[in-house]
Structure 1
Amino acid sequence: MILGLHHTQITIPKHREKDGKAFYCGVLGLPEIDKPDSLKSRGGFWLQVGDRQVHIGTEEGFDRTQTKAHIAYQVEDIMYWRSELKDIVTIFECVPIPGFDRFEFRDPFGNRVEMIQEK
């Protein structure tokens, strides 16, 4: 039986953790959490998002701009995020989903990200 979702992982290029933390912790305001010592040598960092985690791993040789795979962050004030991000990333409008407002962008590493708010 599957009980729920514990974490999801996205990747950034190796040796770009400083830039990753600047975007995810600085711009998005997500708190970094301790990564187990047994995994620290693999690079990357972990974030707390509500009661779940996002693991930012490192990986080379992958074109993140060519995939529809993405992470969606549920937000309270989508207009705030649209305003905060408009000068940092290119915002793309999404196909409408009844009951939700949403938009997408690519993070500085090419990962597809969605911001979504229930109406």
Structure 2
Amino acid sequence: MSIIGVHHAQITIPIGAEEQGRHYYCHLLGLPEIEKPDSLKGRGGFWLQVGDRQVHVGVEDGFERTSTKAHLAYHVTDIALWQQKLQAHGFQMLTGIPIPGYARFETRDPFGNRLEFIQSLDQTTL
């Protein structure tokens, strides 16, 4: 008996903000939306495919997303272009603590969720 991996991670956005969420995650970041099971469709939110993992974007109100260190880290291949793209759309870059062997930055999505973009400086690990 063992844990063999991570199937998905979940973040939340405010109730009723799905279209704004899709615009950010699907259009700006280019992540494909995947269909939720019929049994969960009535709960709001949407699901994304990120490589071989899923990110579930759920909905909830009454939560201050900017007050937590919880975050998703997206492994990318051209961190400078991601930084430029997000800055061009008005998103602020947050300075993260350096990690040897990686270039990285942090930002927040339109709802306050903390996101990290990280690129290995050793391209053989991608």
TM class by smaller structure: over 0.9
Cα distance in 2 for partners of 1:71, 1:102 equals: 13
Query: Structure 1: 5+ residue runs without aligned partners?
Result: none
Determine which structure has the larger strand proportion and give its number.
Answer: 1
After TM superposition, give the deviation of residue 93 of structure 1 in Å.
Answer: 1.5
Counterpart in 1 of 2:104? 102
1:87-98 map, 5 Å: 87-88=88-89, 89-98=91-100
Counterpart in 1 of 2:115? 113
Is structure 2 residue 51 aligned with structure 1 residue 50?
A: yes
Query: Structure 2: 5+ residue runs without aligned partners?
Result: 122-126
TM-score w.r.t. the length of structure 1 is: 0.99
1:1-119 map, 5 Å: 1-88=2-89, 89-119=91-121
Cα distance in 2 for partners of 1:93, 1:38 equals: 40
Runs (4+) of structure 1 exceeding 2 A deviation are: none
Counterpart in 1 of 2:124? none
TM-score w.r.t. the length of structure 2 is: 0.93
Q: Secondary structure at the match of 1:57?
A: strand
Determine which structure has the larger helix proportion and give its number.
Answer: 2
Q: Secondary structure at the match of 1:41?
A: helix
Deviation string 1:57-77 (CA, Å, 9 cap, x unpaired) is 000100000000000000000
Deviation string 1:3-53 (CA, Å, 9 cap, x unpaired) is 001000000000000000000001000000000000000000000000000
Q: Secondary structure at the match of 1:56?
A: strand
